[in-house]
Structures are given as C-alpha cells and as structure tokens.
Amino acid sequence: MSKGNRPLSPHLQVYRWGAHMAVSILHRATGSALAVGAVLLTWWLVALATGHEYFATVQGYADSLIGQLVLFGITFALMQHLASGVRHLFMDMGRLYDLKVNTLSAQLTFVFSILATIGVWYAGYKVMGVL
Amino acid sequence: MTDMKTPLAKVRGLGSAKDGTHHWLAHRVTAIANIPLILFVVVSFVGNAGKGHAEWVAWLKQPIVSVLMILFIANMVHHMRLGLQVLIEDYVHDHGLKFASMIALTFASVLIAALSIFSILRIAFGG
C-alpha cells in the first residue's frame, strides 16, 4: 500500500499538538476557571455591601500572595477566553477555516492574552503606586 | 437514506432536544454582549486598584456603574450557565448525575446572580 502524502487519521501515538487544538481545549478550561472567578466576584460584591470591616477581610485575602496568584490566573483565563471567543465568533461566520489562517489566529489568541494579562497587572500596580 | 422526518418537524427544526438552535444562539448573543461589558469591568477594576471600602462604594453608587454592573452580572451568569451546561452534557454520562448536575448548575447560577445584583442594589440605594 502506498503511503505517499496521505493524511493520517488522529492516532494517540502520532498525535502532534497544534495551537488550534490547544486553543479549543483551553477555551473550555478557561471558561470553567472563569466560573470560579464569578463566585469570587460575587463574594467581593457581597463583602462590599456588608460593610468596611468584612470588606477589609476579603480584600486582605485578595492582597495575599495566593490571592494575587489566583487573580492573575483568572485575568489570564479571562483574556484567553475573550480572544478565543472572538475567534470562535469569526468561525461561526465561516471565516478563519483556511489551515494556515486558522493556526495563525489560534497563536494570536495567546499573544493577545499574555500581553493583555501583563498589561492589566502592570497598569493595576502602577495605579496602586507599587511600581 | 430515507428521511423519516415529517414536513412539520422539518419546518420547526427543533431537533431531538426540542430546543432548536436557541441554546447556541443565546450563547453567541451573550458572548457579544460580554465584550463591551467585560472591557468596562476590567478598566474599572484597574482604575480603582488598591482603593478602600468607601471609594469602591462611591464608585458602585454611580447610576451608570450600578446599571452596567447589573447588566454584566446578568449577561455573564447567563453565558456561564449555557457554557457549563455543555460541559455537563459532554462529560457527565450517568443520567441521574447529569440531571442532578443540571439542576445544581441552574440553582447556583440564579443564586450567584441574586447575591450579586442584591449587593449592587443595596449599595446603589443605601444611605
């Protein structure tokens, strides 16, 4: 049987990761992470409505190292979900299906989410006067 | 292959879930609405970073901010519920567990929305 240039069907041992697959899987993962973010945002709003003492407690958790790491992760999840969501909207309109453009747009979602996450945190710390 | 659908079923286009494309469409519409709303939330949170209780309350009390935050919560929670529903449909195969997960998801979504919106209104109308 001639192997030639024939495409291989997905096979667990010869599977190669590509940006398009990573983005697709990450869209679900980041969406789930953002559900945790929604719960945290609710907690924060309830604390704000409860009063300054409880708000200070919750703000203390947010300002801790673990709190900052969680919030940083949620920022990245948000930016990645946003970029890949916009990519999905274009795909819903029948665009971005050319293989090269599809991969490039998947890679661009990472470029956006990494730059946007760093930008948001840099701006936030700048506003706080930490940097 | 013979098409077993009746002409009426074809026109209705509701499919086996009897829900048609409503879920899919609502997910997209809430996604589009989320774009400007989340940009507002991110810009606000960065702009007010490090502020204390009184300043955050003053920020949220502004009518435009209160309304935009309520819109964001309602739209985001709806989008979240639709997305997590797909995850449950795809990954939870046991029928009983799937049913229980769906109910739990719906209750949790409504609870999140109610707590958030009540908190916003309490601050907006509070003294």
Between CA B73 and CA B111 the distance in angstroms is 12
Between CA A46 and CA A80 the distance in angstroms is 27
Name the residue with tokens 């946003």. Answer: A82
Q: What is the pLDDT of residue A4?
A: 72
The closest alpha carbon to A47, from A38, A57, A37, belongs to: A57
Q: What is the pLDDT of residue A131?
A: 81
State which fold the A18-128 domain adopts. Answer: 3 helical TM bundles of succinate and fumarate reductases (1.20.1300)
pLDDT tens-digit series, residues A69-124: 999 999 999 999 999 999 999 999 999 999 899 999 999 999 999 999 999 999 99
Residue at B123: amino acid letter: I
**A109 exposed, middle or buried (CB, 10 Å; 0-12, 13-18, 19+)?**
buried
Q: Does A41 touch chain B (CB under 8 A)?
A: yes
* Distant-in-sequence, close-in-space partners of A46: CB < 8 Å, separation ≥ 6: B115, B116, B119
User: Which B positions 39-58 lie with beta carbon below 8 A of chain A?
Assistant: 42, 45-50, 52-54, 56-57
CA quadruple B36, B38, B41, B43: dihedral sign: negative
pLDDT tens-digit series, residues A34-49: 999 999 999 999 999 9
CATH of the domain at B92: 1.20.1300.10
Between CA B11 and CA A64 the distance in angstroms is 57
B58 within domain boundaries: yes
Between CA A9 and CA B20 the distance in angstroms is 32
Name the residue with tokens 């567990």. Answer: B97
Between CA B105 and CA B122 the distance in angstroms is 26
The closest alpha carbon to A125, from B84, B13, B49, belongs to: B49
Using CB atoms, pick whichever of B45, B47, B119 lies closest to residue A49. Answer: B119
Number of independent structural domains in chain B:
1
pLDDT tens-digit series, residues B13-55: 777 667 778 899 999 999 999 999 999 999 999 999 999 999 9
The residue among B55, B60, B87, B119 with the most chain A CBs within 10 A of its CB, best to mutate, is B119
Predicted ipTM of the assembly: 0.89
The residue among A25, A43, A45 with the most chain B CBs within 10 A of its CB, best to mutate, is A45
| Segment holding B36, helix H or strand E | helix B22-47
B90 within domain boundaries: yes
Query: A52 and B46 in contact by Cβ < 8 A?
Result: no
Q: What is the pLDDT of residue B66?
A: 98
Query: B53 and A92 in contact by Cβ < 8 A?
Result: no
pLDDT tens-digit series, residues A17-26: 788 889 999 9
Name the residue with tokens 């502020």. Answer: B51
* Distant-in-sequence, close-in-space partners of B101: CB < 8 Å, separation ≥ 6: B88, B92
The residue among B44, B56, B110 with the most chain A CBs within 10 A of its CB, best to mutate, is B56
B15 within domain boundaries: no
In degrees and rounded to multiples of 5, residue A10 shows phi and psi of -55, 130
Between CA A40 and CA A37 the distance in angstroms is 5
B120 within domain boundaries: yes
Using CB atoms, pick whichever of A52, A56, A127 lies closest to residue B49. Answer: A127
Between CA B40 and CA B33 the distance in angstroms is 12
Per domain, the residue ranges of chain A are 18-128
First to last CA, chain A: 65
Residue B104: which domain range?
A: 24-125
B16 within domain boundaries: no
Would the pLDDT of B105 be above 90? yes
Would the pLDDT of B2 be above 90? no
Query: A124 and B46 in contact by Cβ < 8 A?
Result: yes
Distance from CA of A48 to the nearest CA of B (A): 7
> Which pair of tokens denotes residue A84?
């890949």
To the nearest 10 degrees (0 to 180), the angle between helices A65-92 and A52-63 is 80
B92 within domain boundaries: yes
